[in-house]
Structure 1
Amino acid sequence: MARDIEPLRQFFRDCRDAATLLDLRTAAANYFETTHVVMASYIHYPPVGARDFDGQIRVGEFGYPESWRETYLAEELHLCDPLARRAVNFTRPYFWTEAPQLPNLTLEEREYLQRVAAQNMGEGIGIPLFGPAGRNGYAALGFGQAERPPADEVLELQAASQMGHLAYCRLLLKDLPNGTVLSAREREILRWVARGRTNSQIAEVLQLSRNTVETYIRRCFEKLDVNDRVSAALRGIALGMVD
């Protein structure tokens, strides 16, 4: 039986109408509930020469085992994930179980794949995403079981991920109201956020209380029209407000 594509159509409409990054996250969560996806992550690749260029920037994820998520973030394992590293060279989604057959895998990449296999997270797909002026990305979608979803659903997930990426690029780069300015302290804190530091670590470096750091970050959310730390840092840098 053919899949009902109305959820995909609704997601496309939601991407078109999203006014904030929170709107887009909510739309993606609602759409994934209609699919076999139980875990997902999204990586953004700013183009070389862009203000926010820093290789791969991990934007967010959900559904992964907490122990694996903590390890992945702490050890920055996306930097040795062969699908994430090579995504922009692909012309189609790759299943996770296909990764060991990729050509010229490094020892680091093979060790990473062995660690992933030991987590027993089931099958998934890595999807290359393409955006304006080389602002590309990568989506990893996990199904939590060994069985692959129908081919039509894989194509649908590719289309949805691409549309979501384009909407993210639009929202990341949209202009702010005239007169929006970040203070020197707000810019400094966002620089540390962009480097992956927690609020507690930033407080220690700047000799501030954690509550003070959190207050500054909330102000940045309001000024930059975002709802999470990573998007605040990315948006501030992309718009030239944070160096």
Structure 2
Amino acid sequence: MKTDCREFVDALRKVTDADALWRVMLTFFYSRGGIRISYRHVQGDPDRDMTPTIYHDGFPDGFIRRSVAEGYHRSNPISAVALVTTEPFYWSDVETKRKLSDAELAFLDIVRTEIPGNGVVIQMFGPNSRNGTINLGFPEDFPRLEPSELGELQLVGQAAHLAYCRLVPPEEQEAHRLTAREVEILEWIAQGKSNSVIADILGISVHTVDTHIRRIFKKLRVHDRTTAAVKGLGAGLVQNATSGWGP
């Protein structure tokens, strides 16, 4: 049963944190036929070498892990094109929007191979260059949405994005951003590596690894390695730990 837009707006008024907002978004977009959903928040210049904030649900675990390891956001044309346009479009149509680089075409090949079905990207814009995208993946053979339906999804996405900007001030956003080294260590944690093994792999001391892990726990608001891996890499909340997502 479809969630009514008015119900969604009413629910937005009641959320008090980003996790609750994400749950409300999942309920709405799944009710509209989606089976994979991601929300990406970008602060400032989207081209800068910085990991965005990403929430995701339903994307293949293997794809998410590779996103972290290989930094997919740097060669993802879908979000890049979305953030310089104003109308939602299907993933499969991105090649009609502009000429893509070899790296971007390679990214699309990975998406087609690892993520069945098509999807749409919805762009949102906020205060002080706090912009974002929502990707909504559909089952194979799911009929294309009418322009009016895409417009409705964009209105809902924009409302959700502004709610996120309200709930998460810029200074808090930056405070919880993982560094490149922390992202790297989180990936090894997710693969089950001990602190001493991570230290050997990265050529740093165990003490340094311990320090990074304490900072990761604080930023992700967790208290153990398993929860950090699940929260950072699993099919749920990814707080700046993911260098890309899918797609």
TM surpasses 0.5: yes
The one-character-per-residue Cα deviations of 1:25-49 (angstroms, maximum 9, x if unpaired) are 121122123111110112211125x
The 2-side partners of 1:150 and 1:120 are apart by 19
**SS, match of residue 207 in structure 1:** helix
Displacement of 1:123 in angstroms is 1.1
Instruction: Report Cα offsets for 1:200-229 as digits up to 9, x if no partner.
Output: 48965662786994698358739xxxxx66
Task: Determine which of 42, 47, 51 is the counterpart of 2:44.
Answer: 47
Secondary structure of the corresponding residue to residue 41 of structure 1? strand
Say whether 1:207 aligns with 2:202: no
Structure-2 separation of matches of 1:174 and 1:139: 19
CA contact (8 A) 2:81 2:97 kept: no
Is 1:140–2:135 an aligned residue pair? Answer: yes
Deviation at 1:191, TM superposition (A): 4.9
List runs of 5+ in structure 1 lacking aligned partners.
177-186, 223-227, 235-243
1:213-228 paired onto structure 2 within 5 Å: 213=213, 217=217, 221=221
Shift of 1:89: 1.1
Q: Partner residue of 1:161?
A: 157
- Pair 1:219–1:60, CA change in 2 (3 A): closer
> Does residue 105 of structure 2 align to residue 117 of structure 1?
no
Cα 1:102–1:23, aligned 2, differ >3 Å: closer, same or farther?
same
CA change 1:128–1:71 in 2 (3 A) is same
Aligned equivalents of 2:60, 2:77: Cα separation in 1: 20
Contact 2:90 2:118 in 1 (8 A): yes
Distance in 2, Cα, partners of 1:55 & 1:209: 21
Q: Which residue of 2 aligns with 1:70?
A: 65
Q: 1:33 to 1:103 in 2, by over 3 A?
A: closer
Task: After TM superposition, list the pairs within 5 Å mapping 1:178-217 onto structure 2.
Answer: 191-192=178-179, 195-199=182-186, 200=189, 204=199, 207=207, 213=213, 217=217
Are positions 1:30 and 2:32 aligned together?
Answer: no
2:86 to 84, 91, 101: 91
Structure 2 segments unaligned to the other structure (5+ residues): 223-230, 242-247
Task: For residue 4 of structure 2, give the secondary structure of its aligned residue in structure 1.
Answer: helix
Contact map agreement 1:79 1:85 (CA 8 A) in 2: no
Specify the SS of the correspondent of 1:164: helix
Classify the secondary structure of the residue corresponding to 2:168. Answer: helix
Please say if residues 192 and 202 of structure 1, whose CA atoms lie closer than 8 Å, have aligned partners that are also in contact: no
Alignment TM-score, normalising by the size of structure 2? 0.70
Deviation at 1:157, TM superposition (A): 1.8
The AA in structure 1 aligned to 2:183 is: G
Question: Is the Cα contact below 8 Å between 2:122 and 2:134 reproduced in 1?
Answer: yes
Whether 2:11 is the aligned partner of 1:14: answer yes
Calculate the aligned-residue CA RMSD, in Å. Answer: 3.6
The one-letter code matched in structure 1 to 2:94 is: A
In structure 1, distance between residues paired with 2:220 and 2:64: 26
3-state SS in 2 of match to 1:64: coil
2 CA distance for matches of 1:109 and 1:219? Answer: 31
Query: Higher RCO, 1 or 2 (CA under 8 Å, sep at least 6)?
Result: 2
Counterpart Cα distance in 2 of 1:21 and 1:194: 25
Aligned-pair distance for 1:233?
6.7
TM-score by length of 1: 0.71
Matched residue type, 2:68: L
TM-superposed CA distance for 1:70, in Å, is 1.7
Contact 1:46–1:56 (CA under 8 A) maintained in structure 2: no
